[in-house]
Structure 1
């Protein structure tokens, strides 16, 4: 379609030069040519030139001017596809994809067959997962450019993503037969594998298998052919063929655990003894392979057989000195008899190695290297730590350190023992010692930083990480830029424990922004993957992005943020009182001198911090500017608001902020009961009965006996008793009907008493049940308190005791200072290393005390 406001030849030539300058990123020249057109009084309001000038300004970072020019151009020429397209590009640069799609659709009203606008529209539609719209746009591109490969592939993929596998396969077949000529290469191979993937996802495994065999000569990824065909044979229950495929794959890689599992399925072995015999065959065939030996231990159930096999495995691991031997065998400890067998063998090894230098009691056996005793100590320490026998674990790890005081792994394990014993301060001090022995090891550095965060030493953790971050930039800035989410989630949890609510929220929001950035970064791959034909990986990327916020990192940060926002809603922060000037007239000279010195130090410290913040800001601005230059002229990304901890902690609507973190979890982490319990806590405070009911129902389906759910149900029932009469009768009828299967006609008091009597005897059940009983029947507080503070539950843990102690201190059982002291003393006797039950002065001293070098080689 011709321009709605055409330019004369001279000005039109200048306009084309503006377009070329934009395409070649020569923005200053583009502005110069635009000025030449707009300086002519006849064309000073030419819409398309104004729009292009705005687009060029946007690329130079002058966003406000850019919007002003583009909107002005659009007002002057509403029928111009160029103006609408440019406006869409500006909206896209600000990540306003919905608005950009509207702009592109308006542009297409005036120029239906513009290839570039259609391509840009299709990219935004797949980004926003508008699959129906994407299919229509790809169809138009296909009709306009039927000879281009991307037109065929995009058209087929649109049907695949919508689940119309037959149509997608037909398009790919037509493209392959009509368009693909010449030598077969990697891209052709990937296309065939993608087509095979479409057939498999449609459930036509027989057809997919035939397709794979038919084109196997043209597919370059031979390993993928074998693995995929083996999978199809199993799906089709053609076990003999599957057996042959996986036996061939095992010859290729005898350490692949999945091949053994698939081969067992192909052989239809179900008896444990048959599986043990199966692994015996492959132990002989692949004598150096570890996988069949380890998998055999899982399947061996008979005690004599297991002891014989694990004896061989342990001897081999200790002789070779394999550090992760315990981690490798830890999954066997779920079977108590297997754990006992391993403990018996390890103690025998220690005794015999100490006496004879051999694993067995016979001194004539082959002598083991001196390191075998070291690794036996190392394993024993981890074994008893797993069993929560801290004293024995420390005894063995100290013996190992005395044997070889230069092995870093020993100090890491000693720190882990203290961590499990509830002493995070000693834990990080031993990790710090390990880090000092090899300052170039990034793993130990990161592990030490994590332990510091768990001990509440955030600044020390930042200093530790700074050894591996970019110089001249604070560690937190660099870690945030690198999307180092393990550090930020741990820091958020640490700040929450320290009750620094603003800092905790800042870290949680930083992690949330990382996930948004990852989702936005996929935009670059929509055209790239289509061009490079990495189609299977591209579909995998799209599916990953759809469930991205189901990742554990997001769940952890969301839980911290929701907990903090709920706390801030219940107890908002008070404005800090203004400090008054001290009365200096009535002070003694010595006191006045001390005060002046203190004020000078505070002023100097404030000036230093201000200067440091200024340097950080300059560095940040320089870094952002350099990144924009590296982006080679792409439109400037929107600058996100700076996260200010104090501002975050004083949010006007903490519950609405909590809901923003909750919504992705309700969709993507709906299989976790914690999601629905957090949802209830938010909606309970917002007085939303239908949403409360929905949360309870979803949680009830996942685990009807969960103690926190029981408490939510009681509170909801009591809330209904007080408020339901004021609601619309139709709403009240729905709530009453839906809650009945869970309540079963019982009152809140009856439910609380039944839960205490019938629930499984665990520490969590006791605490939640006691809380509810105390809230409903205050007269029974002493009995509830005794139930909550008992320490004879099978699952009694340090964290469980900390939860009880926190509940007592918050006054949920009334005033009970004496009971708190008694409970702390009882917990200290049960968990002597746990720092949570030590006096405050002792905790502070432990936190500040450096690890003495003499402690390294002695029993600590």
Structure 2
């Protein structure tokens, strides 16, 4: 279609030069040519030129001028596909994809067969997962460019993503048969594997296997051919063929655990003794392989057999000095008899190695190197730490340090022992000792920083990370730029414990932005993967992005944000009172002089801080500008609002902000009961009965005996009793019908009493939640509830559980009980002597910790427990 407002030849040549300048990023030249056209009074309002000038200005960062010119151009020429296309590009640069799609569709009304607009539209449609629209657009591109490879691939992939496997396969078949015959390259190989993947996902494994066998000579990825054919044989129950495939694969890589598991499946071995004998064969065939030796330990059930095998495995590991030996064997501790066998052997090794230098008392045994005793101590320390026997764990790790005081791993384990014993301050101090032994080790540096965050020393953790971040930029800025989410999630939790709500929310929002950026980053891959033919990886990427926010990092940051917003809803921050000038008239001259000196120092310090902040801001802007110039993508990417902690903490609608974090979890983390419990807490405060009911039902289906869910049921029952008169009859009828399996006609008090009666068998958390509910319903029964909550006779007694009980007592959930608090602290101190939460303030830093000259603040800061939320998990991972 000809342009609605055509230019004469001279101006048209200038306009084409503007387009070329835009494509080659020669933005200043483009503006110069646009000025030449617009300076002519006849074409001062030429829509397409104005639009291109706006697009060029946008690339130079002048966004407001860009929008002004593009909108002006669009008003002057509403029938120009160029104006609509440029407006869509501007919207796309601001990540307003829905608006950009509308613009592209308007452009296509006036230029139905414009290839570039159709391509841009298809990219946005796959980005937004508008799969039906994507299919239609790819069909148009296919009809316009049937000879291009990307047209065929994109058209086939649109059907594949919609689940129409037959159509996708027929398109790929037609494309493949039309390809040139001759030497086959990597891209052709990837196309065949992608087609095979489409056939397999349709459930036709026999057909997929035949396809793989037919074209295996043309596929360059031979390993993928073997692994995929082995899977198909197993699914088709052709076990003999599968057995031959996996035996061949084991020759290629005898350390691959999956191959052994698949081979056992192919051999149809179910008896543990048969599995042990199976691994014996491969131990002889591959004597240097570790995998068959380790897998054999899992399947060995008979005690003599297991003892013989684990004895051999432990001796090999201790002789070689393998640091992760305990981590390797830790999964065996689920079987108590296996754990006892390992303990018996390791103690025997220590005794014999310390006396004779051998693993056993046999006189003919070869003497072991001196390091064998060291690693035996190291293993024993981790073993007893796992069993929560802190004294023995410390005994063995101290013996190891005395043996070799320069081994970094020993200090890391000692810090971990203190962490598990409930003393995060001593834990990070021992990690600091480890870090000082090798300041160039980034892993130990990060480990130390993480332990500091667990001890709520955020500033020290930042200083520790600053040793490996870019100079001239604050460590937090650099870590945020590198999307270092482990640091930010731990820092958010630390700020939450310190009750610095704004800082906690800032870290949570930073993590949330990282996930948004990762979602945006996939945009660049839509055309790249189709061009490079990495189609299987591309489909995997799309499926990963669809569930991206199910990642544990996002769940942790969302949980912190929701808990903080719930607290801010219950207890909003007060405005900071204005400082008043002191009364200087009644001060003595000496006091007045001191006051003036103090004010001058404070003023000087404030000026220095402002100057430093200005320098940091300038450096940050320079860095962002340089980084923006280096990027090949859109330099006009929108600048996000700065996250200001005080502003975040004083938000007007905390519950709405909490819902923003909750929404992805309800979709992607629906299998976690914490998601629905947090949803109930939000909707309970918003008084949304049907949403409360939905949250409770989903949580009930996952775990009907969860302690927090019980508390939610009690409060929901109380809310219904209070609001029965105001509820719509239809809503009340739905709630009564849906809650019958959970409530069973019981009152809130009956639910609380029944659950409290069963709480002893359910554990410590159940007793606390049930006791709190009973005390809330019947304050007169506080002594009974208090006794149930403070009992230390639970089978799952833990430091974190006791800390939560203590916080609940201090928060007044059981009324005034100072005497009971002191008694409970004393009882917990006797049970957990190393836990810092139960130590008197004067002895908060144990003498066993390394000397700390930085003046550590060991005060016990905790989150307000007035919000009944899911208890925080104690971190015991490595």
Match of 1:786 in 2: 787
Q: TM-score, normalised on structure 1?
A: 0.98
CA contact (8 A) 1:254 1:291 kept: yes
**Given the superposition, is the C-alpha separation of residues 234 and 684 from structure 1 closer, same or farther in structure 2, using an over 3 Å criterion?**
same
2:813 paired residue number: 812
Matched, 1:830 2:831: yes
Which segments of 5 or more consecutive residues in structure 1 lack a partner in the other structure? 854-860
1:710-742 superposed Cα distances (whole Å, 9 cap, x missing partner): 100110011011102212111111111111111
Corresponding position: 1:768 with 2:769: yes
1:426 and 1:846 in contact (8 A); partners too = no
SS in 2 for 1:217: helix
CA displacement at 1:362 relative to structure 2: 2.1
Q: Answer yes or no: is 1:840 the counterpart of 2:841.
A: yes
Tell me the SS of whatever aligns to 2:527. helix
Quick check: 1:168–1:198 contact (8 Å CA) kept in 2?
yes
Distance (whole Å) between structure 2 residues aligned to residue 678 and residue 417 of structure 1: 32
1:692 to partner: Cα distance: 0.3
Map 1:439-838; keep pairs closer than 5 Å: 439-632=439-632, 634-759=634-759, 760-838=761-839
User: 1:839: Cα distance to partner?
Assistant: 2.3
* Partner Cα distance (1:635, 1:367) in 2: 67
Look up the match of 1:129: 129
Displacement of 1:632 in angstroms is 4.4
Local SS of the residue matching 2:642: coil
Q: Distance in 2 between matches of 1:614 and 1:182?
A: 64
Shift of 1:597: 3.4
Give distance in 2, aligned partners of 1:167 and 1:403. Answer: 69
**Contact residue 394 and residue 414 of structure 2 kept, 8 A:** yes
Q: Measure, in 2, the Cα distance between the counterparts of 1:306 and 1:590.
A: 82
Q: Which runs of 5+ in 2 are unaligned?
A: 855-878
Q: 1:778: Cα distance to partner?
A: 1.5
**For the residues of structure 1 that align with 2:388 and 2:633, how far apart are their CA atoms?**
59
Structure 1 852/58 Cα, relative in aligned 2: closer, same or farther at 3 Å?
A: closer
Rounded Cα–Cα distance in structure 2 between residues aligned with 1:388 and 1:595: 55
Q: Distance in 2 between matches of 1:521 and 1:213?
A: 37
Q: How far is 1:758 from its partner? A: 2.8
Q: How does 1:352-501 map to 2 (within 5 A)?
A: 352-501=352-501
Contact 2:297–2:309 under 8 Å retained in 1: yes
Q: Following the alignment from structure 2 to structure 1, what is the Cα–Cα distance between the partners of residues 847 and 301?
A: 46
Counterparts of 1:118 and 1:296, CA distance in 2: 58
Inter-partner Cα distance in structure 1 for 2:271 and 2:258: 19
Q: Using the TM superposition, give the Cα deviation of residue 598 of structure 1 relative to its aligned residue in structure 2, in angstroms.
A: 2.9
Q: Deviations over 1:519-568 (max 9, x none)?
A: 00000000000000000000000000000000000000000000000001
Residues 129-150 of structure 1 show CA distances to partners (whole Å, capped at 9, x for unaligned) of 0000000000000000000000
8 A contact 1:150–1:531 mirrored in 2: yes
Whether contact under 8 Å (2:671, 2:702) holds in the other structure is yes
Query: What corresponds to 2:170 in structure 1?
Result: 170
Q: Aligned-pair distance for 1:634?
A: 2.9
Report the CA distance between 1:849 and its aligned residue: 8.1
* Equivalent pair of 1:94/1:637 in contact (CA under 8 Å): yes
CA distance in 1, matches of 2:222, 2:681: 53
Equivalent residues of 1:25, 1:632 under 8 A apart: no
Matches of 2:146 and 2:445, distance apart in 1: 56
Tell me how far apart the structure 2 counterparts of residues 804 and 634 of structure 1 sit (CA, whole Å).
53
| Cα deviation, residue 589, structure 1 | 4.1
Tell me, yes or no, if the aligned pair for 1:343 and 1:383 is still in contact at 8 Å: yes
Alpha-carbon spacing, 1:849–1:383, altered in 2? closer, same or farther (3 Å): closer
TM alignment of 1:95-134, pairs within 5 A = 95-134=95-134
Equivalent position of 1:858 in the other structure: none
Kindly tell me: are residues 22 and 461 of structure 1, through their superposed partners in 2, closer, same or farther at Cα, counting changes over 3 Å? same
Give the 3-state SS of the residue equivalent to 2:216 in structure 1: coil
Q: Distance in 2 between matches of 1:222 and 1:593?
A: 85
The 2-side partners of 1:690 and 1:532 are apart by: 50
SS state of the match for residue 807, structure 2? helix
- Name the Cα RMSD after superposition: 1.4
Residue 856 of structure 1 aligns with which residue?
Answer: none
Alpha-carbon distance, 1:593 to partner: 3.9
SS of 2:622's equivalent in the other structure is helix
Per-residue CA distance 1:288-340 (angstroms, 9 max, x = gap): 11000000000011111111111000010000000000000000001111101
Kindly provide the CA deviation profile for residues 60-90 of structure 1, in whole angstroms up to 9, marking residues without a partner as x: 0000000000000000000000000000000
Query: Which residue matches 2:50?
Result: 50
Matched with 1:188 is: 188
C-alpha distance in structure 2 between counterparts of 1:333 and 1:289, whole Å: 23
**Cα distance per residue 1:622-647 (max 9 Å; x no partner):** 01111221124734110000000000
Distance in structure 2 (CA, Å) of the matches to 1:461 and 1:331: 32
Contact 1:456 1:495 in 2 (8 A): yes
Asked if 1:296 corresponds to 2:304, the answer is no
Structure 2 distance, partners of 1:829, 1:167, is 70
**Could you tell me how far apart the structure 1 residues matched to 2:238 and 2:47 are?**
68
1 CA distance for matches of 2:423 and 2:247? 50
In structure 2, relative to structure 1, the CA distance for the partners of 1:231 and 1:848 (3 Å cut) is: closer
Q: 1:782 to 1:817 in 2, by over 3 A?
A: same
Deviation at 1:844, TM superposition (A): 7.2
Contact 1:424 1:454 in 2 (8 A): yes
In the aligned structure 2, how far is the partner of 1:499 from the partner of 1:807?
16
Displacement of 1:847 in angstroms is: 13
Shift, 1:181, TM fit = 3.3
- The one-character-per-residue Cα deviations of 1:120-178 (angstroms, maximum 9, x if unpaired) are 00000000000000000000000000000000000000000000000000000000001
> How far apart are the structure 2 equivalents of 1:608 and 1:484?
30
Q: Which residue of 2 aligns with 1:36?
A: 36
CA contact (8 A) 2:426 2:849 kept: no
- Cα distance in 2 for partners of 1:525, 1:739 equals 48
| Cα offsets for 1:212-248 (capped at 9, x unmatched) | 0000000000000000000000000000000000011
Q: Tell me, in whole angstroms, the C-alpha distance in 2 between the residues paired with 1:437 and 1:601.
A: 39
Which residue pairs with 1:278 in the alignment?
278
2:724 aligned counterpart, secondary structure: helix
Q: CA deviation at 1:829?
A: 1.1
Matching residue of 1:72: 72
Residue 261 of structure 1: aligned partner: 261
The superposition leaves residues 810-837 of structure 1 with CA deviations (integer Å, 9 ceiling, x where unpaired) of 1110111111111111111111111111
CA distance in 2, matches of 1:475, 1:281: 54
